[in-house]
Amino acid sequence: MTELKLYKFINEYETEYHWHGDEVIMFVIIWQVEAFNNLLGHNIFDENGVECVMKHDYVCFKMFHICEYFGIKLENVFTNKNR
């Protein structure tokens, strides 16, 4: 995954996210999870997988460690502090 691909995913799917201090929580709607999974690729799931919180209509991901894994700076993708 690259910064550009993640940025396009967020904008194409109008994905909601919120900044909490230095962390970003991203809310992926259930029907978008497969596309997000494909964006992440297979290697990220090899060790311990990806932590998330599943709600009724969406899955929440803390993005700091995911972005760190891919060498992505949060500020370059999650540009709107109020989205």
List the chain domain ranges.
Answer: 3-77
Q: What angle do CA 14, 25, 47 make, to 5 degrees?
A: 110
Contacts of 62 (CB under 8 A, 6+ apart): 23, 24, 25, 51
Q: What is the mean pLDDT of residues 16-21?
A: 94
Q: Give the pLDDT confidence of 20-42 residue by residue, as tens digits.
A: 999 999 999 999 999 999 999 88
Whole-number mean pLDDT of the chain? 91
Q: What angle do CA 22, 27, 28 make, to 5 degrees?
A: 135
DSSP class of 56: S
**What pTM, to 2 d.p., does this model score?**
0.87
d(CA 60, CA 63): 9
pLDDT at 83: 54
Q: Supply 6's token pair.
A: 């993640």
